[in-house]
């Protein structure tokens, strides 16, 4: 709570392992006691691969239910858009529809990770995937693609807004190998956040990838993010009044 952030995404890789319902319930309780909301379950479930490797989506879902997560983060396949043929894309669409329908029965959405090496690696591919799957419970997270121009990132954000749940916030510049203080990314991030705010609805903005994975950098970036969100909220209130 020192960072004064309001929510947290828990991961299925370390924090809340798939199928460990006791652990999920404990984490849910401790999160609430700390005054935080659970923003998502980062399952690392990979469509088209995880089931074949022994991880049924139903195990992921029951863990998310015990955790109290509103959405489950999944990966859209294991091939980037340039390397995926039509059969591969159709298989991802089909399984996406299935798991979105299963999760809907528990009132939990499914959100694609917006990431390289999957079918959400470009603006066009991500939008086409969501449009083809065409399921109301299938959504996406968003983050700026590595090393892409501001204009490209903003265009992608605007295009995916109708499907968007949460935003992953970090500032890598000029390459993915360079983790920079979030404060240095104001020129990019403030327009992104304004765009999300203007669209309405409820979205979590989650910090990810701080410098050297250090607690000090996390606290610094947390302060920056909160100051941005507070200033945007104040601007909105002044307009409304």
pLDDT tens-place string over residues 90-143: 999 999 999 999 999 999 999 999 999 999 999 999 999 999 999 999 999 999
Phi-psi region of 6 (alpha: psi -120 to 50; beta: other; left: phi over 0): alpha
Question: What tens digit of pLDDT does each residue of 40-93 get?
Answer: 999 999 999 999 999 999 999 999 999 999 999 999 999 999 999 999 999 999
241 pLDDT higher than 70 = no
Mean pLDDT, residues 216-237 taken together: 90
CA-nearest of 126, 143, 148 to 205 is 143
* Residue 195: pLDDT over 90: yes
Beta strands in 76-163 (DSSP E): 109-112, 138-142
Extents of the domains making up the chain? 7-240
Q: What are the strands of the beta sheet with 7-11, ordered from one edge?
A: 7-11, 37-46, 71-75, 109-112, 138-142, 164-169, 205-207
Topology of the domain covering 7-240: TIM Barrel (3.20.20)
Q: Positive or negative CA dihedral for 34, 60, 156, 195?
A: negative
- Minimal CA–CA distance to 48: which of 119, 108, 109? 119
Distance from C-alpha of 180 to C-alpha of 220, rounded to nearest angstrom: 11
Q: CA 187, CA 232: separation in Å to the nearest integer? A: 14
The pLDDT of residue 238 is above 50: no
* 24's tokens: 């999920």
pLDDT at 3 exceeding the cut of 80: no
pLDDT for 239 equals: 35
Q: Using alpha carbons, select from 28, 38, 45, 5 the residue that is nearest to residue 225.
A: 5
Average pLDDT score over the chain: 94
Whole-prediction pTM: 0.95
pLDDT for 240 equals: 29
DSSP state of 185: G
């Amino acid at each position: 709570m020192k960072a004064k952030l309001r929510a947290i995404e828990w991961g299925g890789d370390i924090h809340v392992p798939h199928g460990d319902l006791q652990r999920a319930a404990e984490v849910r309780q401790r999160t609430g006691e700390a005054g935080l909301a659970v923003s998502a379950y980062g399952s690392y479930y990979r469509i088209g691969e995880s089931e074949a490797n022994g991880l049924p989506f139903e195990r992921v879902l029951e863990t998310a239910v015990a955790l109290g997560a509103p959405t489950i983060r999944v990966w859209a396949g294991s091939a980037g858009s340039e390397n995926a043929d039509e059969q591969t894309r159709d298989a991802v669409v089909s399984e996406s529809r299935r798991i979105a329908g299963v999760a809907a029965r528990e009132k939990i959405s499914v959100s694609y990770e917006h990431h390289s090496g999957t079918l959400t690696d470009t603006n066009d591919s991500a939008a086409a995937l969501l449009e083809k799957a065409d399921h109301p419970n299938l959504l996406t997270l968003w983050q700026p693609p590595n090393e892409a121009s501001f204009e490209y990132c903003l265009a992608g954000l605007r295009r995916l807004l109708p499907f968007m749940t949460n935003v992953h916030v970090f500032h890598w510049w000029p390459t993915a190998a360079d983790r920079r203080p979030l404060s240095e990314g104001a020129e990019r991030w403030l327009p992104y956040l304004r765009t999300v705010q203007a669209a309405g609805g409820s979205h979590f903005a989650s910090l990810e990838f701080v410098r050297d994975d250090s607690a000090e950098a996390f606290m610094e970036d947390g302060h920056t993010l909160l100051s941005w969100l507070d200033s945007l909220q104040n601007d909105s209130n002044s307009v409304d009044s």
